[in-house]
Amino acid sequence: MSCVCPGTTKSQEIIEKTKKHPCYSAEAHHTYARMHLPVAPQCNVQCNYCNRKFDCVNESRPGVTSEVLTPDQALDKFEWVKEKIDQLSVVGIAGPGDALAEWKLTKQTFENIKAVNSDVTFCLSTNGLLLPEYAEEIIQLGVQHVTVTVNTLDPEIGAKIYKFVVYKGIRYEGVEAAKLLLKNQLAGIEYLTKRGVLVKINIVMIKGINDHHIPAVVKKVKELGVFVTNIMPLIPAPGSAFEHFSQTSMKEINELRNVCQLDIQQMRHCQQCRADAIGLLNEDRSQEFRMCNRQTAEVKTAQNLKKKQYKIAVTSKYGKLVDQHFGHASKFIIYQGDGQDFKIVENRSVEKFCSGMEECDSGEVQRDNIINALQDCDAVLTMRIGHHAKERLNKKEIYSVEYCDTVNNGLQYAVSQLADR
Ligand code: CLF
Ligand code: SF4
């Protein structure tokens, strides 16, 4: 890919960084790695193709993550991954919601990393609704690669794609919502490109909805000075309004890309990756770098901890390892102790709420029942827990700790976390 930035010193810097950006440069994607930091769980738009509720480790699509991090945890994760993956060149924030809907968290995350590393390239992906508000801050922060998803220029088509948009506290629906989103997207894109930011446009091709209209979108964003467009197939996410739509085939995608290539360069190597993706684009290592794996080495010595008694509910298949997902547990082992000594005080049975995707919605009631059944506990120690369950526990002041080692080490770790709170 050739770069078209203005000929300033700064643009030379962007050119160099872009050569090592695996999404912006087709050549770089075999050599350089990116990591996504999932620090932005909320979104201000509801696209009919999106469902962020599922966080199955086997699913790879935008919006899916196995963990949501605070900016401090994100820094920790960055340092860990940087140490292990030499080719890491890009840190991106791509949700699992919208990077700008959670601007404070996104900004803090980039600032934390900037303070310890000046080489890495920052990248963010957004629906564009808040670009007019934050475009200048994005530039000041040094983010030179921004992706905006623009699916249509026509509000009538937009009304079929977006269920609603929430802007400045007001919820908009239908054509009005699509008009507002489009206006902000176009204004934000132009603002960024005029200031040398390399803007990539993602377009989800939804057959029967926007497919015939995509060349017009591409022409328009070209006029606005974008760098590349990325036409992606619809992945019918379970539980989304478009779940029964058929997935657009790569043949159809490539035919459309070939038409649009005449206007602007096309990205053809996108992996539609998870919000916590790590590694080369075609070699996701996100599960290896889950924070619960990092924490094993960092268990603090129990001697240093306060002598408070804690009650901790553990999910474990056989009682030795923390090896069960929160949603799969039909029984919690309740431990009580101070960090040095723990004893089992109860085996508490509950009705598990996760029986797979099909029945996921009907699991809400069971989930609430489980959370109520754990009200007397300070923490849940579990191999993995979904974002929504975590949030619900948090509201009851029950701390969730993800861990993947022995129950004993996990209990010590959980207490160290509780003592630090
Ligand atoms: Fe991430 Fe996106 Fe930045 Fe890349 S992904 S924020 S530009 S660092 Fe890349 Fe993944 Fe495709 Fe995105 S392969 S989904 S295009
Ligand atoms: Fe999902 Fe992104 Fe659409 Fe928000 S903007 S609903 S996170 S696809």
Is position 308 within any domain?
Answer: yes
Same domain, 266 and 397: no
319-to-119, 227, 322, 347, 370 alpha-carbon distances in Å: 45, 54, 8, 10, 19
Is position 3 within any domain?
Answer: no
Residue type, 416: S
The number of folded domains in the chain is: 2
CATH of the domain at 25: 3.20.20.70
Same domain, 120 and 94: yes
Number of H helices, E strands in the chain: 12, 15
Same domain, 248 and 334: no
Query: Given 249, 284, 319, which residue is the final one in a domain?
Result: 284
Q: How far is the CA of 51 from the centre of ligand 2 (A)?
A: 8
Ligand 1 atom 10 nearest Cα: 273
Ligand 1 atom 14 nearest Cα: 272
Q: How far is the CA of 43 from the centre of ligand 2 (A)?
A: 6
Is position 262 within any domain?
Answer: yes
Query: Given 284, 309, 342, which residue is the final one in a domain?
Result: 284
Same domain, 280 and 319: no
Same domain, 355 and 409: yes
Which pTM does this prediction carry?
0.74
Which two tokens mark 274? 């998870």
Binding pocket residue ranges, ligand 2, CB within 6 Å: 43, 45-47, 50, 63, 95, 97-98, 127
Q: How far is the CA of 139 from the centre of ligand 2 (A)?
A: 23
Cβ(273) – ligand 1 distance below 6 Å: yes
- The domain of 301 spans 294-420
Is position 359 within any domain?
Answer: yes
Among residues 23, 13, 281, the alpha carbon closest in space to that of 147 is found at: 23
Q: Half-sphere exposure of 208 toward its Cβ, with a 13 Å CA cutoff?
A: 5
Ligand nearest to the CA of 239: 2
Same domain, 256 and 376: no
Per-residue pLDDT of the chain (421 residues; tens, 9 = 90+): 333 444 444 577 788 888 899 999 988 888 999 999 999 999 999 999 988 765 544 455 676 787 889 999 999 999 999 999 999 999 999 988 999 999 999 999 999 999 999 899 999 999 999 999 999 999 999 999 999 999 999 999 999 999 999 999 999 999 999 999 999 999 999 999 999 999 999 999 999 999 999 999 999 999 999 999 999 998 888 788 998 898 788 999 999 999 999 999 999 999 888 899 999 998 888 888 888 777 654 454 444 445 678 999 999 988 888 888 988 888 999 999 887 788 998 888 887 666 555 545 556 667 777 888 898 999 999 988 888 888 889 888 999 998 877 898 889 888 888 876 6
Same domain, 280 and 303: no
Atom of ligand 2 nearest to the CA of 98: 7
Same domain, 159 and 94: yes
